[in-house]
Amino acid sequence: MNLSTKIFLAGHRGMVGSSILRLLNSQGFEDVITENRNTLDLKDTAAVELFFKNHKPEIVILAAAKVGGIQANIDAPVDFLLENLMIQNNVITSAFKYNVKKFLFLGSSCIYPSNANQPIKEDQLLTGTLEPTNEGYAIAKIAGIKLLNYYSRQFNFKSISLLPCNLYGTNDHFDLKVAHVLSSLVKKFSDAVTEGASSITLWGTGIAKREFMHVDDMAKAVLLFMQNDFEVEVLNIGWGNDISIKDLAEKIALLTNYKGIINWDSTKPNGMLKKCLDVSKASSLGFQPSILLEEGILKTIQEYRKLQSNIS
């Protein structure tokens, strides 16, 4: 591929998609196609097929998905399963029909079994029971990965699925119903400081461990594996180390200058207790994230506070 290759980036307004778009633009890619929801509903089979027929992209990056936090997934599993299945099926089948040269699919580490061995290797996919709190979303993502695998094996359709650890960063939602873990904590502690709150209550017990990577590092991974052809179908993307939610909360409290008490609501779910990826395969292929956790947290705090000052 070269800078004039026609690329369709689906989901360019989301946290991951917008980061990918910024990187593609900065690298000088000249023909990146994006569509808003009001001009292209990816759940509409006919509309998606017409789009591919008219535009005929050479590369597709599918960053579009219905996403949300633990409570949103618990409340609306039908929505998370069905909407993501529709988006994936439409985009993948049309991409194949209209001869896309390479398809890059963004999955999630939540597709692994809740009792997976740690750190989690790619071959543990479909070896156990999923975490119940986001099962609908996970099943949809697994279906997307397997559909691409089958297209590859049956028709030699070139694709790769990247499975990131927990992401955070620029252009994340700070709505607590849909925000990612780290951004949710940044909002809660920042708001507590602004409001002069003496205590804050967080979900779970804090013992769950998660691996965090800034979204701009994820965009670099997308660019690397879009530009290069490796004989791999599924690939973990992350740092390969994790931190407890309790330690993360205390770190964010320190960086936001929160001085109050942190309470934990043990009636709320922790989710999967440990989820750390084995990233040795991605590392061997040349990917290494660079934005350290404290640096990324500080950047996210600054972005949230700037957003709040603009609103006020």
DSSP structure class, residue 129: P
Pick from 179, 165, 182: which is nearest to 300 by CA?
Answer: 182
Structural tokens at position 126: 């479909």
Beta strand 102-106 pairing with 166-168: unpaired
Task: Please say whether the beta carbons of 103 and 227 come within 8 A.
Answer: no
**Contact assessment for residue 268 and residue 154, using Cβ atoms and an 8 Å cutoff:** no
Per-position b or e across 30-41, b if 16+ CB within 10 A of its CB: eebbbbeeeebb
Under a CB-based contact definition with an 8 Å cutoff, are residues 74 and 133 in contact? yes
Q: What residues have CB less than 8 Å from 291, skipping those under 6 apart?
A: 213, 214, 216, 217, 299
Distance, CA of 96 to CA of 26 (rounded, Å): 29
| Element housing 84 (H / E) | helix 77-97
Q: How far, in Å, CA of 153 to CA of 143, rounded?
A: 15
Q: Is 258 a catalytic residue?
A: no
pLDDT per residue as tens digits for the range 126-177: 999 999 989 999 999 999 999 999 999 999 999 999 999 999 999 988 887 7
Coil, strand or helix at 262: strand
Question: How confident is the model at residue 186, as a pLDDT?
Answer: 96
Of these residues, 112, 137, 258, 304, which one is catalytic? 137
* Nearest-angstrom CA–CA distance, 308 and 41: 30
Distance CA 66, CA 294 (A): 28
pLDDT at 81: 98
Least Cα distance to 32 among 230, 286, 226 occurs for 226
Q: Residues in the chain, how many?
A: 312
Residues 195-208 have pLDDT tens digits of 999 999 999 999 99
| pLDDT score for 180 | 81
The residue type of 43 is: K
Secondary-structure percent of the chain, ordered helix, strand, coil, rounded to 5: 45, 15, 40
Return the pLDDT at 312.
Answer: 60
- C-alpha distances out from residue 286 to 152, 225, 279, 283, Å: 23, 10, 11, 5
The stretches in the chain having pLDDT less than 70 are 178, 312
**CA 232 – CA 127 distance, rounded (Å):** 19
